[in-house]
Amino acid sequence: MKLKNIKNISSKLIIISLFAWIFSCVGQKSYPEVKNATYKPYQINGERGYIIEFELSNDNVKPAAVVINRIKKTISPADKNGLKYRINVIAETRKILNYKVKGSEKENGIYFSSENEKSFKPVEFELR
């Protein structure tokens, strides 16, 4: 009698585990491939920063922000041209009064946002 109960409980646990695994795979978003990810440092008239450029394989999930050298910059619609992005990340400026650089604990990469979720994808930007 006890062996039958153990088999019954074991089979239920296996079925529950299988369903949990299937639903966890279904819930994962597939983020677009990031192509030609580059950065170029600049220093012009009291302003220092980076020009970030990259291209996405599709626009199913929108990029919300970029992180380079621990500096986070929100991506605006003006930064987008088709599937290509060009973002000016200001690291230091004397031109813009009270400009605050947003720091980040994350490594270099891109924040993607979907309906109600933000996630981070590490990206290795190449120096141009």
Residues 42, 50 contacting (CB under 8 angstroms): yes
pLDDT > 70? residue 13: no
Other C-beta atoms within 10 Å of 103: how many? 10
Q: Give the pLDDT confidence score for residue 19 in this predicted structure.
A: 59
Confidence of residue 114 (pLDDT cuts 50, 70, 90): confident
Query: pLDDT tens digits for 33-47?
Result: 999 999 999 999 989
pLDDT > 70? residue 28: no
Q: Give the pLDDT confidence score for residue 12 in this predicted structure.
A: 66
Give the predicted TM-score (pTM) of the model: 0.75
Q: Stretch 5-23: mean pLDDT, rounded?
A: 64
Residues 89, 68 contacting (CB under 8 angstroms): yes
Residues 62, 112 contacting (CB under 8 angstroms): yes
Would you kindly state where each structural domain of the chain is located, as residue ranges?
34-127
